[in-house]
Amino acid sequence: MKEFELKYGCNPNQKPARIYMAEGSELPIRILNGKPGYINFLDAFNSWQLVKELKEALGMPAATSFKHVSPTSAAVGTPMSGALKKAYFVEDIEGLEESPIALAYARARGTDRVCSYGDWIALSDICDGVTATLIKKEVSDGIIAPGYTEEALAILKSKRKGTYNIVEIDEDFVPAEKEIKQVFGITFEQGRNNFKIDKELLNNIVTENKKLTEEAKRDLIVAFITLKYTQSNSVCFAKDGQAIGVGAGQQSRIHCTRLAGSKADHWHLRQCEKVLNLPFLPSLGRPARDNAIDIYISEDSEDVLRDWESIFTEKPEPLTEEEKKTYLATIKGVALGSDAFFPFGDNIERAVKSGVSYIAEPGGSIRDDNVIETCNKYNMVMAFTGMRLFHH
């Protein structure tokens, strides 16, 4: 297939639309089901790059959940705690622990369930039946992977009344070294961002505390590869082999940190006992449950309790600000990556409130000394990578 005609571009008025190879060669994909759109393919090709690179860097199956050309999360296939399985609604999935790619997907999709509603999925490995079973339970637009088992393909083809978008990509495809796009009729050209992200990137530790654990290195790699394919400005909080808070596309660095930090806080709070034991009505659908949890955790928790009879079997106690502060104060060991330097120490002050112990950023600000000093105040470990990762 040399080209694929699309229904329309970013919006219904933008016609005609298609994807094709400029040099006239074959597209490196097969469309196994459905008819993906323009934004679907933007998500598909960006998300595939992320999981492919994450697997190459860490040697583990990887998955990501994408919305509007930025990841809501990305993860590798590490084991999950009982509390996390319950928070992600996957505690009843048979065979989950035996499928690393299913674990990676469960982590990526479960991190920010509100933002992942109607997402695009990318898997680094062949999609198996366990992963397809997880996907079938969620609201999603489509998936890209290097292959599918017969069982997985049958499950996925039954999704969305048979219209679910399933794309298979040639995992050996290597794109051209130059990237070209047009804006306002003007052509832009640049070299592809082939910068390799690995543990060597974290060798320049600039803080007094230089104890960077292997787990922290893994999480910082997850954060940086996630950032490489996130619309800038962006920062990423990571823990246990997954991105737990992504602050994408903000004009101010501190707003990136606040946004990502609030998402990371929600991730932690969803695993607290009060949230895990919310008495939902059995008939309540997953999206409604996700929204209820999101509101319950927020400062407006009383709002969801006013209409509790349509959501819960009994009225739960509110989650107070004091309870949230006490719970979050116990969190440590979170990693934080930034796609460009932190210009002020205020980012560090916000990060510490979300349990950040490890930071990596390019460095190069005229206030680097202030940022390092703030890290030292909290006994954090910070590495300067020397490399910016803007993505637009």
What pLDDT is recorded for position 22?
83
Place of tokens 């035996």: 98
Q: Do residue 253 and residue 225 come from a single domain?
A: yes
Q: Do residue 25 and residue 76 come from a single domain?
A: yes
Nearest CA to 258 out of 179, 354, 323 is that of 354
Q: What is the DSSP letter of 68?
A: T
Q: Do residue 310 and residue 338 come from a single domain?
A: no
Q: Do residue 281 and residue 371 come from a single domain?
A: no
Q: Do residue 208 and residue 78 come from a single domain?
A: no
Q: Do residue 160 and residue 297 come from a single domain?
A: no
Q: What is the CATH number of the domain that holds 376?
A: 3.40.140.20
Evaluate whether residue 183 is within a structural domain. Answer: no
Nearest CA to 339 out of 231, 194, 193, 258 is that of 231
The residues annotated as belonging to the active site are 67-68, 233, 392
What domain range includes position 347? Answer: 193-269+331-384
Evaluate whether residue 184 is within a structural domain. Answer: no
Q: Do residue 157 and residue 91 come from a single domain?
A: yes
Cα–Cα distance, 375 to 357 (Å, whole number)? 9
Q: Do residue 74 and residue 147 come from a single domain?
A: yes
Q: Do residue 130 and residue 83 come from a single domain?
A: yes
Last residue of one domain, picked from the residues 295, 318, 341: 318
Evaluate whether residue 242 is within a structural domain. Answer: yes
Evaluate whether residue 97 is within a structural domain. Answer: yes
Cα–Cα distance, 236 to 227 (Å, whole number)? 7
What pLDDT is recorded for position 300?
67
Q: Do residue 150 and residue 211 come from a single domain?
A: no
Domain count for the chain: 3
**Alpha-carbon distance values, 42 to 45, 71, 89, 229 (Å):** 6, 12, 29, 11
Evaluate whether residue 98 is within a structural domain. Answer: yes
Cα–Cα distance, 324 to 298 (Å, whole number)? 10
Evaluate whether residue 356 is within a structural domain. Answer: yes
What pLDDT is recorded for position 24?
75
**Alpha-carbon distance values, 104 to 60, 185, 328, 330 (Å):** 9, 40, 25, 26
Q: Do residue 297 and residue 200 come from a single domain?
A: no
Evaluate whether residue 24 is within a structural domain. Answer: yes
pLDDT per 10-residue tile (average), the chain, 392 residues: 93 95 90 97 98 97 96 97 95 95 98 95 98 97 98 97 97 94 94 94 97 98 97 96 95 95 97 95 93 86 79 91 94 97 95 97 95 98 96 92
Q: Do residue 112 and residue 81 come from a single domain?
A: yes
